[in-house]
Amino acid sequence: MDYRIGQLVTGTVTGIQPYGGFVKLDEETQGLVHISEFKSGIVKDLHGELKVGDKVQVIILDIDQYSGKISLSLRQVGIMSLKDTPIIKNTNIKKHFWTNYHLDYGFEPIALALPGWVEEAKKRIG
C-alpha cells in the first residue's frame, strides 16, 4: 500500500518497548509510535496505555525514503479530533487596553508630542 505523510490509518499493535510501540499497518508495513507521540503529557509506562493486539488509529508523521521506516502518532489523532469541536465564543469578555489606543499620535517627533503627554498626565493626576 502507498502511504503519505499526514494520512490517518488503522493498525494493530504488535509490540511494546520502553521507547515506543510498533503498529502493523498492513501485511508488509510496520511503523513506530515513539513514546513522545502517545499522548500529550508524560507517559511513564506504555503497558498502561496499550496492549499487543489493540486496534489503533494513527497518523503518519514521517516516512524515511532511504530506510522505509514510518513514524506514527497517536497524539496527533486526538489533536485532529479537537479541530471538529465547535468553538464557543464568549461575548461577555471585556477587553482592557493598556495603551491609549483611541488616541492617534502618529509619527510625530517626541519633542512635539511631549507637551501633550505632560498635560494629559497632569489631568489624570488631578
pLDDT in tens, 20-75: 889 999 888 899 988 888 887 777 777 777 888 989 999 998 888 888 889 998 88
Q: Residue 8 — φ and ψ, nearest 5°?
A: -95, 120
3-class DSSP state of 75:
helix
- Give percent above pLDDT 70 in the chain: 75
Read off the pTM.
Answer: 0.59
C-alpha cell at 64: 524515511
Which amino acid is present at 99?
T
Residue spans of the domains in the chain: they are 8-83
Q: What is the pLDDT at residue 1?
A: 61
Which residue from 120, 108, 93, 38 is spatially nearest to 71, judged by alpha carbons? 38
8-83: CATH class: mainly beta
3-class DSSP state of 16:
strand
C-alpha to C-alpha distances, 118 to 110, 121, 126, nearest whole angstrom:
12, 5, 12
